[in-house]
Structure 1
């Protein structure tokens, strides 16, 4: 293989396929490469929820609101069932200062189009019957959160991209990137007018091949499962506790997330900590066996906000560091990258948190 393409997208997860779709639909010659199968990276490691409320981050909420509308359109255009099913998002508050933080940012959230409100502890129990109201002072409720099928979303973007003329190749890792834009793979070389890095957990390594530094790193996560008690609603909303414990329905079971063991913590100690927090927050789950669901890696940025921008010295565009929130932002990220490639960047993207880098390595957030 020795060829030329206008844009080469590296990474075939939900971000990369969204970018390829938007570029191809804009008439840009697009080739996408993935080292494995489409969606085989961090896109398949999430809790499978698309939501619009992100506590403390109205910029991400704005991207998510824009993206949710695009998902409904994608389902209509492709005829692919994305598995979208409204479950809602409940954030528990156990301290008065958490409520104060929520109220301070509420105007910004609503200005970004996020639908969220403060509710009482009794209302929280109405949304999630497993919650112990005696441990709460209030909660935030956002109805615009949907369980989804991440694999179907990747298929939808891939189908739309190919229909618009993009070429998608799997099992094709990038091994090197030359300064003149030649990308090396085991199948041959590709000369790209613009390279787009959307490689998820491998984004920093791909960027380094082009002598571009991205302040993102890889963070491993574990998702756990437990049996649902008879009193559990079906579906349970995605529910977030200040301890970082989050749960939601997963078929007839409950999906649990709470990070990974600390560097000096054994897996057994971490599982015990998760079980104790689960029993404290949800007494009906006390004594329930917690089992491994699946593991994976996420690409994370220092502040948890995605890094989207263009290198000032070469035609290299990046979309990385989504920190487990890429599923919620992928359609908007695809539109932003498309506009960066086409030189259409403007105030609308600046308001949505596009980031670029100063040559010294510092992040310029506009």
Structure 2
């Protein structure tokens, strides 16, 4: 089978679907290829949290601020009501260097549009009464954090992309690309295009290599989120809370907590024991609750935990949006807008050199 298409987007997660929607909405002929089902990669292993504050990473924060505005406007564009329950985001500081890093980062975060402030230990405990007898020095608090539904966002973007004319093909893994010739090889045949977009998440590395892009993606990381047994009666609703020293993240999920803490690595049982110990140390009233796997999935990652978004001009052109390092849900609307603008040679409204592979991208190591 051989077919022509102006733009082929590889990857049917929230990033690829956002790109397909924004391109199709702008009148571009788009075909999206997904190896499995829509949202079956990193998009199924999220905590369903959209927020604007990414500590120490004002570039990701600026994408998240822009994306949060788009999520709030979803009822009018693309036209779907999304669950957005505001809960706030709390980061607990137990070490002096964490306070110093927050203060050093604050001006850049504010310049990115983030609403965040340093609050006292007492106020942190008022916002999250589960906090135990930690040596808490203070906390960062941002009100702009919401519980949403990643599956609903994936579905909304997919529906809107199709309504705008995009073709979405699932169960269609890409086996090779030839960006110089504008060819994409799949198990079902070959497609030609005057632009190829890599938004393949954990499967991006081989594609960008085929395109000759020297992108220092790290090995894909398997994410696991845990859930507790039902919480004791009267347990309060708390903000999404990160313990900065351990990376322990919690949020309410119905009558339970959803929990993340880094990545399991090869010794999953040891990791789970460490999560359980950190949970009780930070929130002693939760002692005795069992922990269970909630969801797992592969994530792409970049060395500086900031997405790669950029392009090599054509025709045929090669564009990429990958390496989101767990920030994909929070960055997806902005990523779609930026890829659209790069393809159409529009002003993207921000300095995209901070995201592109190249000499202006600092802090990258292999």
TM-score category by the smaller chain?
over 0.9
Equivalent position SS for 2:197? strand
Is contact 1:307–1:319 with CA below 8 Å preserved after alignment?
A: yes
1:287 aligns with 288
2:57 aligns with 57
- Residues 27-85 of structure 1, C-alpha deviation per residue, up to 9 Å, x if partnerless? 11111111111111101101110000011111111111110111122233344332211
Equivalent position SS for 1:55? coil
Is contact 1:52–1:65 with CA below 8 Å preserved after alignment?
A: yes
Equivalent position SS for 2:174? coil
TM-score w.r.t. the length of structure 1 is 0.92
Give the drift of 1:10: 0.5
- Residues 297-341 of structure 1, C-alpha deviation per residue, up to 9 Å, x if partnerless? 100001100011113686110000000000001111111111111
Equivalent position SS for 1:74? coil
Q: State the distance in 2 between where 1:112 and 1:76 align.
A: 25
Is contact 2:11–2:201 with CA below 8 Å preserved after alignment?
A: yes
Equivalent position SS for 1:3? strand
Equivalent position SS for 2:354? coil
Give the drift of 1:97: 2.1
Structure 1 window deviating more from structure 2 (217-226 vs 193-202): it is 217-226
Give the drift of 1:277: 0.8
Give the drift of 1:351: 6.2
Q: State the distance in 1 between where 2:312 and 2:66 align.
A: 25
Structure 2: gaps of 5 or more residues: none
Q: State the distance in 2 between where 1:84 and 1:282 align.
A: 26
Relative distance call for 1:251 and 1:352 in structure 2 (3 A) is farther
Is contact 1:247–1:255 with CA below 8 Å preserved after alignment?
A: yes
1:131-210 matches, within 5 Å, as: 131-132=131-132, 134-178=134-178, 179-210=180-211
Counterpart selection for 1:253 from 247, 250, 256: 256
1:112 aligns with 112
Q: State the distance in 1 between where 2:123 and 2:64 align.
A: 25
Give the drift of 1:172: 1.1
Q: State the distance in 2 between where 1:20 and 1:270 align.
A: 37
Relative distance call for 1:16 and 1:62 in structure 2 (3 A) is same
- Residues 140-171 of structure 1, C-alpha deviation per residue, up to 9 Å, x if partnerless? 11111011110110111112212222111111
Is 1:317 the equivalent of 2:334?
no
Give the drift of 1:363: 4.7
**What's the RMSD between the two structures over aligned residues?**
1.9
1:238 aligns with 240
1:341 aligns with 343
Structure 1 window deviating more from structure 2 (223-232 vs 332-341): it is 223-232
Is contact 1:307–1:356 with CA below 8 Å preserved after alignment?
A: yes
Structure 1: gaps of 5 or more residues: none
